[in-house]
Structure 1
Amino acid sequence: MALQNGYSIDSSPLDESGDTTPLLKKEVVDVDDSVPPQCCSARCNLAIMMFFGFSVVYGLRVNLSVAMVAMVNGTKSQPSLNSSGGHECPVSSHGNGSQTPDQPDGIPLYLWDSLTQGLLLGAFFFGYLVTQIPGGYLAGHFGGSIFLGGGVLGTAALSLLTPLAAQLGPYWLFGLRALEGFGEGVTFPAMMAMWARWAPPLERSRLMTLSGSGANFGAFVALPLTGFICHSLGWPAVFYMFGGAGCIWAVFWFILVSDQPGTHPRISTREKDYIINSIGKGNAFLSALPYLGGWAFSVISGVVADSLLEKELLSVTAVRKIFTITGLLLPAAFLVAVGYSGCSGVLAVTFLTLSSTAGGTSAAGVFINQIDIAPRYAGVLLGITNTFGTIPGVVAPIITGYLTKDQSLAGWRSVFCLSAGISAVGAFIFTLFGSGEVQKWALVEVDQEQAETKRDRFIPT
């Protein structure tokens, strides 16, 4: 039988010379049996569909932060200039004492204080926390397409009810946002479960970063677009338009996408065989500008990471650590710079943009590390890690509100320095304990002995 032109996860413990074999092994090729191109392939189309799906759900996630300004009567509970700490930076001459933008006639405004607004903005993450782990587990067992598509569809459909929930009261809106988080919480674990079946080893980084980068791109588009819609049509139109876009995307998703190559009705035999053979049948179960920079760098980092692995210049562990350190320490440094940028809005936006841009490189590091160490359980692992990663979304508004209660520069400096410190600690821990090796507990019993022979297959890290 002709072998594929590319790489596969080697299943034999020793080569003819008795040396250990690499994880990614170049195989003998036939001229007529080369690796199918990525352009217009089923796996590439899947990545693009995921890209737009995450663009939609992240738009649904962040649009309330902008729409809230239009929903709330800005004359309620404004901070006093004579309060302790005061405003250290001059107020813009364009301000008129009310931060509520003009709304078309008949659009309701609500008298929600700062505490209520903070709770409403954080409500999403209460639901998001709950479904990370079960979402990954269920997606691994029953297929990721139903959970990813259902998560986006559910979030979008609930978003359509936002104006009604706001009219009924903040408790209703809090519950609705929590349910939206509940639905969106399964999407990233489901994505990981699907790529465990779809992504050839040497294309994992670029396929997963392309699909996941839709989150940054969606936020980049949604933030200014939300402001424009609020001003032109009124804030309720934001939730109708974004929710409608999510529902339309879900229709195409369920028509065009399959859980695995073997069940895809339009995939070529050549591509299907390539994906299955390269993954192995045993593993088949298995504010806007900063977001733009993060999206671009996450895509670039995926291509570079795959190139380093393809050329066998570094081990999987080394690649993951390099991109993780870069994606955590550089943003930390820029966050500290934001804290010391004083009253300069230009410097603050510049450093925030650089921080988010540099952070995009971690997409080829710790973000996809779950599929390196345990392909069979990648969805569950992402659910666990994303659960812990979501905790800051719940506590950050509370801590930030406490540290910046006097609206002083020192308070905001503490916020950014604390964020930088957390990022640096994460980089340090991953550097010490991170690995790109398939773990023993992630292998079936018959694979345990083979795993022992694969520990030194690349350049030492």
Structure 2
Amino acid sequence: MSSRVEVKETVGHISNDRNFSMDQVQTSRKGCFAVRYLVAFILQLCNFSVYSQIMSLSIAMPAMVNTSAQTNRTNASEEEPLTVLNVSWNETQEEIKAMAPAYDWSPQIQGIILGSVNYGSFFTPLLSGYLSGIYGAKYVVGVGLCISSVLTLFIPLATDTGVVLLIVIRIVQGIAQVNVTTSQYSIWIKWAPPLERNKLITIAMSGTSLGCFILFLLGGVLCQTIGWPYVFYIFGTTGCVCSLLWLSLVSEKPTNHPFISTTEKAYIECSLAQEDAIPHWSVPIKDMIKSTALWTILISHFCESWHNHIILSYLPTYINSVLQVDLQYSGFLSSLPFVLGYICVILEGQLADLLHSRKLLKLITIRKLFTAVGVLSSAIFILSLNWVRSSQVTTLAFLILSCVLNTWLYVGVMINMMDIAPRYAAFVKGLALIFEQIAGAISPTVSGYLRNQDSESSWSNIFFLSIAIRLVGLIIYLIFGKAEVQDWAREQSFTQF
């Protein structure tokens, strides 16, 4: 409660300080080296580390499995092979097996292993978001990233011991990763001015695309040259370094940061003064349960995460098996959607802030428009994959475009909780992440089952089911989505948790 009083006293002091002019405000807004952007870029590195660790098993899986070529070959056999990419397919497989151990895992077991990172984290986001809203996100994020990184280093040893231990390690790792992805949102209610919120959040969130890009770019090369265990060693070590950077260079709020200027500190606090977003010990659970706006966000997160987890888990496998591209090049090709997505996410945040600050569109219109563009445009390219398999180049282009266009959702429904409940942003993100984790646990498992049952049409079935679920989520969001602060999220209305 003391932090709440401190903020109000500080804001009152600033509002009475006539030396803080509008020129200083504009200077602070345009500052290229503002500390709030340093926070965003360090958080980008944290997200980079988390997602590179999440995806490490996906890129290493084809090298870890003896039957990496057991996939849909029916249509692939009719295709004209990429002569450059497939020159040494069989030789590559033998070289990989000689460098690191390989295991006899069926597609169904692979799906369970890939989805296990989400099995134990269904309720962790709730506790993580609640605690970070009260005690602060700095240590929750830092410790979570450190634990995840250390466990990543132990994955090769766990894999050699047995599937059960690997799944247990992945479950605990998923719980630690949830602390990072959930708690970071409480940082922005103290650091992000409302008219810069889209920009700062998307800079931080773009680390997810950056992590996938670097992992896919280097992972296949590492698997093919020095062995798949080094994927986990390198990205586990990188995560440890990023957790130290976060704990050393980021403070919970601007008033505590040793390097922030008085002008920037005043600008941030003045910008946030009108927004009732101070975290509270109480959470209005009863009102949340009745909130249509909140349920709309939760359902939408489930629907979108179903598709996202399939892409994250199976994109390298799809390229490796359906297109018959070897591991080195499949990793490179899998990375292309994410490097373009990394750029697009940042640009989309800039566009959203421009439309909002100049009042060209209402905030809810921006959210729904960006969400609809992301879902519908990416769905068109995903659905078209079934009819363009005769051309590997076209297939790759469609995969890349679908992933890039999907990034529009990051400025749509994916950050909508900041609009309806800034005070409880981390807690609501925790709720949304529970739905994401449920989708992340189910979708790879279901996809593995479909691949195991029907090799000829498995990928079509997987994609059709994914798109159908996403369209249901989009329709619900377009009808019921809101972007104004809800009554239950205001200071005067709360019920004890």
* TM-score of the superposed pair, with normalisation by structure 2: 0.78
- Pairwise CA distance, 1:289: 1.6
- Pairwise CA distance, 1:283: 2.1
Residue of structure 2 equivalent to 1:402: 449
- Pairwise CA distance, 1:435: 0.9
More helix by share: 2
Question: What is the rounded CA distance, in whole Å, between the counterparts of 2:31 and 2:120 in structure 1?
Answer: 36
Deviations 1:64-105 (A, max 9, x none): 112122223338x957xxxxx972331857576688452486
1:292 counterpart (319, 339, 362): 339
Residue of structure 1 equivalent to 2:373: 326
- Establish whether residue 31 from structure 1 lines up as the match of residue 18 from structure 2: no
Residue of structure 1 equivalent to 2:283: none
Question: What is the rounded CA distance, in whole Å, between the counterparts of 1:359 and 1:105 in structure 2?
Answer: 38
**Mean CA deviation greater in 154-163 or 127-136:** 127-136
Residue of structure 1 equivalent to 2:483: 436
- Three-state SS of the structure 1 residue aligned to 2:200 is helix
Deviations 1:269-303 (A, max 9, x none): 11111111101274243732222232222111110
Structure 1, unaligned runs of 5 or more: 1-10, 12-27, 80-84, 448-461
- Pairwise CA distance, 1:151: 1.6
Contact 1:335 1:419 in 2 (8 A): no
- Pairwise CA distance, 1:202: 0.3
- Pairwise CA distance, 1:337: 1.2
Describe the shift of the 1:309–1:230 C-alpha distance in structure 2 as closer, same or farther (beyond 3 A).
same
- Pairwise CA distance, 1:375: 0.5
1:117 counterpart (87, 91, 110): 110
2:427 counterpart (380, 383, 389): 380
Describe the shift of the 1:356–1:96 C-alpha distance in structure 2 as closer, same or farther (beyond 3 A).
closer
Residue of structure 1 equivalent to 2:76: 89
**Mean CA deviation greater in 224-233 or 283-292:** 283-292
Contact 2:124 2:178 in 1 (8 A): yes
Describe the shift of the 1:182–1:272 C-alpha distance in structure 2 as closer, same or farther (beyond 3 A).
same
- Three-state SS of the structure 2 residue aligned to 1:40 is coil
1:151 counterpart (137, 144, 147): 144
Q: How does 1:67-216 map to 2 (within 5 A)?
A: 67-74=60-67, 78=70, 87-90=74-77, 94=87, 100=93, 102-103=95-96, 107-216=100-209
Number of residue pairs the alignment of both structures matches: 415
* TM-score of the superposed pair, with normalisation by structure 1: 0.84
Contact 1:200 1:275 in 2 (8 A): yes
Question: What is the rounded CA distance, in whole Å, between the counterparts of 1:119 and 1:446 in structure 2?
Answer: 43
Letter aligned with residue 467 of structure 2: A
2:264 counterpart (262, 265, 271): 271
- Pairwise CA distance, 1:132: 1.7
Letter aligned with residue 477 of structure 2: F
Question: What is the rounded CA distance, in whole Å, between the counterparts of 2:167 and 2:475 in structure 1?
Answer: 37
User: Which fold has the larger relative contact order, with Cα–Cα distance below 8 Å and residues 6 or more apart in sequence?
Assistant: 2
- Three-state SS of the structure 1 residue aligned to 2:23 is coil
Contact 1:101 1:231 in 2 (8 A): no
Contact 1:104 1:232 in 2 (8 A): no
- Pairwise CA distance, 1:49: 0.3
Letter aligned with residue 221 of structure 1: I
Question: What is the rounded CA distance, in whole Å, between the counterparts of 1:74 and 1:439 in structure 2?
Answer: 52
2:230 counterpart (216, 220, 237): 237
Contact 1:38 1:44 in 2 (8 A): no
Question: What is the rounded CA distance, in whole Å, between the counterparts of 1:222 and 1:446 in structure 2?
Answer: 45
Residue of structure 2 equivalent to 1:313: 360
Structure 2, unaligned runs of 5 or more: 1-10, 12-19, 281-333
Describe the shift of the 1:33–1:173 C-alpha distance in structure 2 as closer, same or farther (beyond 3 A).
closer
- Pairwise CA distance, 1:406: 5.5
Question: What is the rounded CA distance, in whole Å, between the counterparts of 1:135 and 1:394 in structure 2?
Answer: 19
Question: What is the rounded CA distance, in whole Å, between the counterparts of 1:332 and 1:437 in structure 2?
Answer: 29
**Mean CA deviation greater in 55-64 or 114-123:** 114-123
Describe the shift of the 1:310–1:319 C-alpha distance in structure 2 as closer, same or farther (beyond 3 A).
same
Deviations 1:253-273 (A, max 9, x none): 111001111111111111111
RMSD in angstroms over aligned alpha carbons? 2.5
Residue of structure 2 equivalent to 1:351: 398
Contact 1:335 1:352 in 2 (8 A): yes
Letter aligned with residue 202 of structure 1: L
Deviations 1:7-65 (A, max 9, x none): xxxx9xxxxxxxxxxxxxxxx95435534034111100001001111111111111111
Letter aligned with residue 279 of structure 2: F
Residue of structure 2 equivalent to 1:341: 388
Contact 1:293 1:360 in 2 (8 A): no
- Pairwise CA distance, 1:224: 2.4
Question: What is the rounded CA distance, in whole Å, between the counterparts of 1:105 and 1:334 in structure 2?
Answer: 38
Contact 2:107 2:452 in 1 (8 A): no
Residue of structure 2 equivalent to 1:22: none
- Three-state SS of the structure 1 residue aligned to 2:77 is coil
Contact 1:70 1:101 in 2 (8 A): no
Q: Runs of 4 or more off by more than 4 Å in structure 1? A: 91-99, 406-409
